[in-house]
Amino acid sequence: MMRNDLSLLTPPWDAGLVQRLNLAQVGLGDWPAHPYTCANRGDGRHGDEGGDRGVLIATEQGWVCPHCTYAQAWAHAASGEIYPTAIVGQSGIEFFRPPQSVLLARLDGMLAAYRDLQARHATGAEVMVQVLEARRAQLLAPPAVFSLWVIYDRPSDFPTEVVARRFDLKTEQPTQDLLRAPTLVALRAQQPADATVLPRQKGDDPVIVESWLVETPP
């Protein structure tokens, strides 16, 4: 992570920033970074949760230490930026663009450690557990599936109508789903919500007017 940017982020930190900072703290962020650690971490009372001694936890109010009362109320602005994914450990980058199985294994290890801290009422541990659980749900969410509706103006099988036929983008095959209307305007009134309209492409069949790209719920 770039540390030459001297502009600092002062709390309150929003939920998105708390998540990004905490994922970076435990090596599950988007770019190699040494975690922010507690100033008292050498006192023999600090644990290694998070992959280093005395790793701080980001909360809405700033950094807290799960092992003592230390708090720190700033982070470098660059900490909140988005970078390509890498897994970072104490020795540096352990995986660049890690596969999901590797991310989940590391995440589950961290989750177990911080749940243990939470059970002992350690400061900030609950926030870290929430961040890791949210990240886990994101990683396990099924990928979006898209459908493409292709709009035909008076095709040979419907010579007096404008029709939209849905294609399954996974199989690239037409489905039985069909919308019919006497005019293009009337057909567009039936357009699925949140459709992205794609203009006809060069080389499309002459009866093709446009296409609608729609995200299909899993």
C-alpha angle 150/155/159, rounded to 5°? 140
Rounded Cα distance between 50 and 18, Å, is 15
Q: In the block, which residue shows the tokens 């970074």?
A: 33
Q: How far is the CB of 38 from Zn ion (least distance, A)?
A: 3
| 32 to 41, 84, 180: CA distances (angstroms) | 21, 10, 54
Choice between 67 and 135, CB closer to Zn ion: 67
Choice between 68 and 78, CB closer to Zn ion: 68
Given 1, 40, 47, 180, the residue binding Zn ion (CB under 5 A): 40
First to last CA, the chain: 35
Q: In the block, which residue shows the tokens 């995200």?
A: 215
Q: How far is the CB of 39 from Zn ion (least distance, A)?
A: 7
Q: How far is the CB of 62 from Zn ion (least distance, A)?
A: 14
68 lies in the site for Zn ion, by CB under 5 A: yes
Find the part of the chain contacting Zn ion (CB under 5 A) among 67-75, 76-84, 108-116, 188-196: 67-75
9 lies in the site for Zn ion, by CB under 5 A: no
Q: Segment 87-106, which members bind Zn ion (CB under 5 A)?
A: none
Q: Are 26 and 35 in contact (CB under 8 A)?
A: yes
Site string for Zn ion, 121-160 (x = CB under 5 A): ----------------------------------------
Copy the structure tokens of residue 114: 């911080």
Rounded Cα distance between 113 and 79, Å, is 23
Given 13, 70, 149, 152, the residue binding Zn ion (CB under 5 A): 70
Find the part of the chain contacting Zn ion (CB under 5 A) among 38-46, 94-102, 112-120, 208-216: 38-46
Sign of dihedral through CA atoms 146, 23, 99, 141?
negative
List residues binding Zn ion (CB under 5 A): 38, 40, 65, 67-68, 70
